[in-house]
Structure 1
């Protein structure tokens, strides 16, 4: 009996409704992309975080006293860690998309039988992996150098993952929107950096005037920083449950926007 040699359509190579092979391949590509240059994508952020902690401790640590009942350097460490995580998660997705658009090979991502959701999840896998690895590296340094053992490690990990998801999705939106590198730099400098720096990373928002305190509570990144701080030192400016709700809703909203942009091919297929 002759064997049936009819080709199988690529779009049919699925288990259920998800192209798991394509999704895993895209996720592996995004993870491998930053691992092959680990000195730039992992080691450099850790060194930068260590420099931040050292400089702030030397400059104002001794005169600052305690914040939230702990030394200033201990208060600062979780914020620096989270700020580094979100910056790297954003950079991972945004740079990946912008580079492929500028080089003209974004078609390699769009042509395979991947849905908008599968592309979104593949990119986010790289952002979360990079964010978690950076957090683990900085967290290990905090424990070894400062002797700080996380009070609630699982809560800290949850907020790290949420932060990577939120900024990873925002990086997809920015990468799709930007047509060239200077537009991407403008988004980073005027949106991402202010969100990170004005979120209670270097100070307790309770020390701010009422108007600025309210403005800080409207910043989702504040809840990310505050949640990780609670997970590490056990105290925070706001309720961890409120922070979890705000961060989850914010991540879902930005992820939904990113999915709509990827699904429609906005600024990708033209």
Structure 2
């Protein structure tokens, strides 16, 4: 029976973390600057308006959604960019030859994506928290939905990076799939503000439940019951990890 190569998996994880930490201006400072821009635009543009049906002002409602959107996008970017850079530079073959099982590789990549997503969200929230009242009555829900969302998006980024042949194909997935789904996940609005038809469409977006559950952990209010969605989220995490494991084990689009 093959023993776990914990040192190898840890080394790959450290490589992923150090890779995004080397470009701090892009991965850490940029989210902080973006947070300040959102503060200026939405805080003073919306004033003291409240979200219909919720006893919370619009900007306070917006902050957790923006943090989740940043987590989703950065988790996807971390794994997809790592994979496509390896392909373009011809380095991915060495990873395939490394004495690591498919599961160890997948866990290392997804753990790196989670770390980047959490770092970005933390910086984002630290910048904006002095300007909003985020009591966070359910920190466990915040942690659960944040980590699950990062794993799901890190897995999708890994699959997208395995499928893509160049940066253009990764950008196509990001611009035409990831960005629309994240922007239409209830980040900027309560689903109750939409016409009934668009409420149904919005509920079909899986990112909506991640955003709404994450927001509920911070505010104690949301458009859905986050406890009822936990099962679906956990199943999605398991399916994503298994899909990544099976595809990596088969060398899907990696041996061309």
TM range, smaller chain: over 0.9
Q: Counterpart of 1:115?
A: 101
Given that 2:13 and 2:111 are in contact with CA atoms closer than 8 Å, whether structure 1 keeps it comes out as yes
The residue matched to 1:70 in structure 2 has which SS? coil
Q: Note if 1:254 corresponds to 2:244.
A: no
Choose the corresponding residue for 1:79, options 65, 77, 91: 65
Choose the corresponding residue for 1:226, options 212, 220, 223: 212
1:24-43 matches, within 5 Å, as 24-43=10-29
Alignment length, in residue pairs?
Answer: 255
Q: Counterpart of 1:131?
A: 117
> Relative to 1, partners in 2 of residues 1:63 and 1:145: Cα closer, same or farther, differing over 3 Å?
closer
Q: Note if 1:238 corresponds to 2:238.
A: no
1:199-214 matches, within 5 Å, as 199-214=185-200
Q: Note if 1:163 corresponds to 2:146.
A: no
Distance in 2 (alpha carbons) for counterparts of 1:88 and 1:171? 10
The residue matched to 2:154 in structure 1 has which SS? helix
Q: Which entry has the higher C-alpha Rg, 1 or 2?
A: 1
RMSD of Structure 2 on Structure 1 (CA): 1.6
Given that 2:48 and 2:58 are in contact with CA atoms closer than 8 Å, whether structure 1 keeps it comes out as no
TM-score, structure 1 as length reference: 0.90
Shift of 1:147: 3.8
Distance in 1 (alpha carbons) for counterparts of 2:69 and 2:189? 13
Distance in 2 (alpha carbons) for counterparts of 1:46 and 1:264? 40
Distance in 1 (alpha carbons) for counterparts of 2:36 and 2:219? 18
The residue matched to 2:134 in structure 1 has which SS? coil
TM-score, structure 2 as length reference: 0.94
What runs of 5+ residues in structure 2 fail to find an aligned partner? none
Shift of 1:63: 7.0
Given that 1:100 and 1:106 are in contact with CA atoms closer than 8 Å, whether structure 2 keeps it comes out as yes
Q: Note if 1:144 corresponds to 2:161.
A: no
Distance in 2 (alpha carbons) for counterparts of 1:54 and 1:75? 15
